[in-house]
Chain A
């Protein structure tokens, strides 16, 4: 896809971050150092603070203590320094596909309407949705909607991409296709990615590095460097010895983490993902 330039990634430094909701501490000095262009997956049981972490990284929430630095500078919540892909596509149902992709450019207001349309069209092509510019979101399948959502984030050329279980709502086959798509895009654009998931296979397949979060406020349970060779492809990578080894380790980790009782009440958190992780751990 020669008509899109490489965007590149920024380094992300999470330094001694403390955060709590009321009395319940979520992070008590969390530190992660993410390299420029690194693909980092974060997994952990429900209520371990995965989504809270993304909210902190995106500036929707502020750390009580500690700092988050992007390329050495503290993040500024007022300017969108990141692309965000949500679990559900959350497209604007009253806008067509291409208008959805244009949304961020329109808010920014730097480009003329014609330039905006042209750029949005290019990014739709990039995610494989050429010819669907004028469809309303409800006429697209779940996977296609998530592609639009991805294009909507990418068109802003963010050097940091935050993804909150983006393929969690898709069926297994579509999810694998989307995993390959994401790897292709990341390979081409080179952003730093923080990818949250509760799917171990997905984490192992995609990432350079996997962080398993412990029950709050214990922070990082394991920081695993993923040495699976790239480029990765479904049939080879998913059946390789190393893939299975990582998977086994992570399943064991999750089983330990999920069985550790939480000192704080976690009434506020739903237990969907952790139930799923437990199932997987039992296999």
Chain B
């Protein structure tokens, strides 16, 4: 038997339960809260409420059950708009990656739509669809689908011709090429597209709710502003940031990490 480079064996680090090492990131959120508390001492509570005032407001919304319809509404809209954007972006993104003609056709459109802030569509959609889910879902869709198409398209374009050729030499037919080469090879950038699309959709959602909704987190913020309830405004902001941060950290980053393993140097 021949000699093999044993040094190529990766060493698996033993996972032990230890406190994670200190990083300066530990200070970012506490320092922000501290600054908020200090600044809030200079203002009356009805203008800039203290951290604990907002926490108490949140507790009240939570206890009397008012919070959930809003969270639920925002969630449904995100699922509808972002979900349909995923389907369309995967189809269009792959087509744009495979077919030069379609790519040439769709790229200027993506660019044009991405140059328009999604919220600019809200008034028109309000006129067409009226207040409600449809308006918001359409606005979310427009904002999320375009960057996702571009991300997926560019990913498909980077799939190496050599991998495809190797698969063909091993007898892969057209459908097998798609299932066993293009699809797995594209998972890393489909994930990246999901992450980008989600954050775009979430921004558009909040903005659209502030203009054309009767519930949702965006509505909480704008309604709070209208009635002069700054606690409600801040609670809305915290929830908007928190939900998005949670999805980003706990969901998309984790999937992305999985696929990083594949990448060859």
Binding site for B on A (CB under 8 A): 58, 60, 79-80, 82-84, 86, 88, 90-95, 103-104, 106-108, 128-130, 132, 135-141, 143-144, 152-153, 156, 177, 180-181
Contacts and interface: CB of A to CB of B under 8 A. Distances in A.
B17 to A, nearest CB: 26
Contacts of A156: 170-171
Contacts of B171: 79-80, 104, 107-108, 156
Interface stretch (B3-11, B45-53, B203-211): B3-11
A152 B262 contact: no
A90 B180 contact: no
B160 interface: yes
Given A60-B165, A128-B2, 20 more contacts: A82-B169, A86-B165, A90-B165, A92-B185, A94-B187, A103-B167, A103-B170, A103-B180, A104-B171, A107-B173, A107-B180, A130-B1, A136-B261, A136-B262, A138-B263, A141-B5, A141-B7, A143-B5, A144-B4, A156-B170
Interface centre among A83, A107, A180, A181 (most CB of B within 10 A): A107
Interface in B158-172: 160, 162-163, 165-172
Interface residues of B, number: 32
Contact of A92 (B5, B7, B181): B181
B264 interface: yes
A128 B165 contact: no
Interface in B1-44: 1-5, 7-10
Interface in B163-209: 163, 165-173, 176, 180-181, 184-185, 187
A129 B3 CA distance: 10
B265 interface: yes
A260 B3 CA distance: 43
Contacts of A82: 169
A181 B170 contact: no
A177 B2 contact: yes
A136 B264 CA distance: 10
Given A128-B2, A129-B4, A177-B3, A94 B262 contact: yes
Nearest to B166: A90
14 contacts: A80-B170, A80-B171, A86-B165, A90-B165, A103-B167, A107-B171, A107-B172, A108-B171, A128-B1, A128-B4, A138-B261, A138-B263, A140-B8, A156-B171
For the complex of A and B, the 4 pairs showing the least CB-CB separation, nearest first, are A104-B170, A84-B169, A80-B171, A90-B166
B8 A90 contact: no
Contacts of A144: 4-5, 8
Contacts of A104: 170-171
